[in-house]
Amino acid sequence: MITVVGSLNMDLVVQTEQIPRVGETVLARDLRYVEGGKGANQAVAAARLGGNVSMIGAVGSDDMGDRLLTVLERDGVDISGIKRSTEPNGIALIIVDANGNNSITVVSGANFDLDAEYIHLHEDKIAGASIVLAQLECPLEFVAEAMLVAKNHGCTTVLNPAPAQKLSAELLANVDILTPNETELELLSGHSTATPEEIEAAGRKLMESGIKSLIVTLGSKGCFYMDADSAEYYPSYKVKMTDSTAAGDCFNGALVTALDRGDYMHDAIHYAMKAAAISVTREGAQPSLPTVKDMENFDVWYQERQEK
């Protein structure tokens, strides 16, 4: 079983030709309300790909919260660990440009109505899991306690350190697999990540914190994997990007699903990269996440969608 500890947001998405610069006004085509939040996205990604998924988090006691829970339940996620908070629901304001790039601002809301004690109220969901996956859109004490409790129960712990922020040595020591992007790796390691050589050097520095494996997601350039014995770059599947929102969440959800069913890390990374490739060709966060059927048809799909 996979337990996801993290955030749930309603995404307010606008499509523009370009992301505005400071002081610039741009016109948007429309405004869409799309289910999101890094935690919820990763939980849905894992569930759609066949994972047995439970989630611990919080939503508002409002229509947005109702809608987020309904969608999670529809995708088969166990929502009994999700708190109905008196705080407003979390909201993400997302601008997507014509090339599929995005700019995101998050209003945390109910996601910050969580603490270490809440982890213990739902410790059974961690104790019964083989993998626990978390991110950083909730309070650090909540995330840190989840990683500690998971390690105490013998779970594999996976932390997607997004959005980027400094983390304590104590928290990192309880992480088995860390999945930063280049920006997050630079912040955590204190080293530049401008070149492949610098990424590897930054990764080795970060490995000193006690994590067992590091996967650096590099967008269209693929990803970089490192453990105590090996280091390898994985090229991406080249497709025409429509919207990169939730691509990293898709990668993480697919990765833990593959690992939970017993795949070796090498195969799990390839599986996660295929899932992320599908997601960037679709609009929105959770609506972009692939299903088992999508993955079964990937080779045929990729022949048609591959960017030459």
Angle at the Cα of 256 from the Cα atoms of 120 and 229, rounded to 5 degrees:
110
Q: Show Cβ contacts of residue 180 under 8 Å, excluding neighbours closer than 6 positions.
A: 160, 161, 162, 164, 188, 214, 216, 217
Enzyme catalytic residues:
249
Q: 256 near 1, Cβ under 8 Å?
A: no
Assigned token pair, 15: 């499509």
- Locate all alpha helices (DSSP H) within 110-264, ordered by sequence: 116-121, 123-127, 140-152, 169-172, 182-189, 196-207, 247-260
Q: Show Cβ contacts of residue 94 under 8 Å, excluding neighbours closer than 6 positions.
A: 11, 12, 13, 14, 36, 102, 103, 104, 245
Task: Fill in the DSSP letter of residue 45.
Answer: H
